[in-house]
Amino acid sequence: MSLLKTIAAAQKRLAQASVDNPALDARLLIGHALGLDRASLLTQEQRILTQEERATIKYLISRRAAREPVGRILGQSEFWGLPFGLNEATLEPRPDSETLIEAALAFLEKKKEKWDPCLRRDDRKEKKSLHILDLGTGTGCLLLSLLQELPQATGLGIDISPRAIDQATTNAKQLGLEDRSTFQTGDWLEGVDEKFDLILSNPPYIPSQDIAQLDPEVRLFDPKKALDGGTDGFDPYRTLIPLIPSFLRPKGIVVFEVGIYQAEPVKDIMKRNGFERIESKADLSNIPRCIIGQFLD
Ligand SMILES: C[S@@+](CC[C@H](N)C(=O)[O-])C[C@H]1O[C@@H](n2cnc3c(N)ncnc32)[C@H](O)[C@@H]1O
């Protein structure tokens, strides 16, 4: 069978399985199986595939037809333009979470006089470094993307899942960021004895009873610990926000990801706990996705 016919058959199978982007996913998986990029797939459409190649493609397409996400099948997902390895204990990083990186960088840029030392500059003599904490780090995508942007910064990533910590540690090595990052297993802030300029968290925030209605890609393949935010989805915010001020250096900031309809209630919890300059930032679908606030005391 030719490559062209194989692509068409794979696309049809994925469409029948109600996969969102059957054409794109078929090409990504077939390209991966054959070691070909998009352009080569086009130029080699008439090539006849070997039996072994067809068997590999069949296996990958059947996994996607069972609604396993492409990133999980490939074992890697891209975030902030960087590759992040995945395992069964890590959430697959979402493009929406890049809003947190944009918000944190914008806030630091605005406060240039204060945070100058950590911005992308080279004259850094006598300057203190920015110290970042990522709570519920998963693949480490939030912390490691910021460290990549802020060459003087250092950071700690914490996750309750030891397997997620293994993966984040591997990702840090692969990105050459292991000297500036530490990852440790823990229950939120338990056992943390340092203070930070910036605390980030994309906590689990789906109400428990809503998980059964999520797409199979999420419900069947993302770890429950990464999704379940308790009865109303706010448990992690209620736990973390009152604790965070004791872990912030003076004028430190906190950046949270929130789910749909969660922005205002999370802002209220932050206000009640003494945070100021509270702002939200919308994602590409115009949903408030990120809340940022500063603790001035
Ligand atoms: C929504 S995922 C976010 C992962 C990653 N930061 C990202 O943005 O892709 C939430 C993470 O919080 C972790 N987590 C859940 N409860 C936790 C707890 N009590 N203490 C530390 N981490 C926790 C989960 O294991 C999961 O990795």
| 131-156 tens-digit pLDDT | 999 999 999 999 999 999 999 899 99
Ligand 1 centre and the CA of 285: distance in Å? 23
| pLDDT over 50 at 118, yes or no | no
Ligand 1 centre and the CA of 241: distance in Å? 15
> Could you tell which of 78, 161, 238 is best to mutate to test the pocket of ligand 1, judged by most ligand atoms within 8 Å of the CB?
161
Ligand 1 centre and the CA of 126: distance in Å? 35
The pLDDT of residue 7 is 96
| For helices 51-65 and 3-16, angle between their N-to-C axes, nearest 10 degrees | 20
Among 125-139, 251-265, 273-287, whose mean pLDDT is lowest? 125-139
Angle (CA) 70-188-178 rounded to 5° is: 60
Ligand 1 centre and the CA of 172: distance in Å? 17
d(CA 45, CA 149): 40
Q: Please give the structure tokens belonging to residue 49.
A: 């595939």
> CB of 159 closer than 6 A to ligand 1?
yes
| pLDDT over 50 at 274, yes or no | yes
| pLDDT over 50 at 124, yes or no | no
Q: How large a percentage of the chain has pLDDT more than 70?
A: 94
Phi, psi of 183 (to 5 degrees): -125, 135
Sorted by sequence, the CB contacts under 8 Å of residue 39 that are 6+ apart come out as none
> CB of 97 closer than 6 A to ligand 1?
yes
- 10 Å CB burial of residue 9 (0-12, 13-18, 19+) is middle
> Could you tell which of 146, 225, 228, 240 is best to mutate to test the pocket of ligand 1, judged by most ligand atoms within 8 Å of the CB?
225
Least Cα distance to 249 among 154, 146, 182, 178 occurs for 154
The pLDDT of residue 46 is 93
Q: What spatial distance separates the first Cα and last Cα of the chain, rounded to whole Å?
A: 69
* 3-state SS track over the chain: CEHHHHHHHHHHHHHHCCCCCHHHHHHHHHHHHHCCCHHHHHHCCCCECCHHHHHHHHHHHHHHHCCCCHHHHHCEEEECCEEEECCCCCCCCCHHHHHHHHHHHHHHHHCHHHHHHHCCCCCCCCCCCCEEEEECCCCCHHHHHHHHHCCCCEEEEEECCHHHHHHHHHHHHHCCCCCCEEEEECCCCCCCCCCEEEEEECCCCECHHHHHHCCHHHHCCCCHHHCECCCCCCHHHHHHHHHHHHHEEEEEEEEEECCCCCHHHHHHHHHHCCCEEEEEEECCCCCEEEEEEECCC
The pLDDT of residue 129 is 84
| pLDDT over 50 at 117, yes or no | no
Average pLDDT over residues 168-192: 98
Please report, as a single letter, which amino acid is at residue 172. A
d(CA 247, CA 236): 16
The pLDDT of residue 296 is 87
| For helices 22-34 and 3-16, angle between their N-to-C axes, nearest 10 degrees | 130
Q: Taking phi first (over 0 means left), then psi (-120 to 50 degrees means alpha), and beta for anything else, what does residue 289 get?
A: alpha
The pLDDT of residue 112 is 54
The pLDDT of residue 22 is 97
